[in-house]
Structure 1
Amino acid sequence: MTTYLWIALGSALGGMARYACSSAIANWFGQGFPWGTLAVNVVGSFIIAFFATVTGPDGRILAPSDVRQFVLVGVCGGFTTFSSFSLQTLSLAQDGEMMGASLNIVGSVVLCLFAAWLGYVAAAAFNTVKGS
């Protein structure tokens, strides 16, 4: 039961962070394209891959299972917004904004995969640093 409470807390914190970040980005760049959603998905992809790698079996940081679940399932699950991405992409397509919908799909997939790879590479490099 404790694990569920950690996940719930992480989800709440991740959701609040998502709202704050995506709102700030939307206010900065405008509402015409879901830049905020794209940004949190890219950042979230980096964070989830980095944390999973650095706390994984070959990682440098030994994290208890509840901590991993708190971050990976709770915080990252609450922070990333794939369901929002899907709805916003559908809305762009329904509004006839096929270029925007296509850009959101390609940008989200390519940038999030790149961010996940970058998170993995950064954590793998961190794992091999000596003397820490």
Structure 2
Amino acid sequence: MHAIDILWVGLGGGVGSLLRWQVGRLIEQWVGAAFKVSTLFINVSGAFVIAYISALLSMGWEDRFGSVIASLVLTGVLGGYTTFSTMQLDAVEMAEARHHVRAMLYLVTSVGLGLLAAGAGVMLARA
């Protein structure tokens, strides 16, 4: 790892986090917050784009370090954009509000759609 990689990841992470914040804010203004559609959309779209770029450039896990694309885009921007921890917190908050079924549906939907989106990204890149 080189100092420039740290710079790329930090810069990309800041951009991705700001993008997540803005997209989430816009979606929640438009849709509301009963089912946290914003976090679901962010994670599913991020899974698609990460998978698409990785497959398009034939980047496996062993290639995740040392290039601008890997450091800036995949780890930085898209890592900052997607948010596993917010998904978990959303589910806990739903459960605490006695919406246990909604919380479980949210988690299953998030993971299931994320996997489908990643698969679609790979398929599209290889088409």
Structure 2: runs of 5 or more not aligned: 61-65
| Cα deviation, residue 66, structure 1 | 2.1
Secondary structure in 1 matching 2:58: coil
Q: Is the Cα–Cα contact under 8 Å of residues 55 and 68 in structure 1 kept in the other structure?
A: no
1:1-132 matches, within 5 Å, as 1-56=3-58, 65-125=67-127
CA RMSD of aligned residues (A): 1.4
Number of corresponding residues: 120
* CA distance in structure 1 between the aligned counterparts of 2:68 and 2:58, rounded to whole angstroms: 13
Superimposed CA distance per residue, residues 63-95 of structure 1 (whole angstroms, 9 cap, x where no aligned partner): x71222211110111000110000110111111
Structure 1: runs of 5 or more not aligned: 59-63, 126-132
* CA distance in structure 1 between the aligned counterparts of 2:69 and 2:82, rounded to whole angstroms: 18
2:63 maps to which residue? none
Structure with bigger gyration radius: 1
The percent of aligned pairs where both chains have the same amino acid is: 36
* CA distance in structure 1 between the aligned counterparts of 2:103 and 2:40, rounded to whole angstroms: 12
One-letter identity of the residue aligned with 1:55:
L
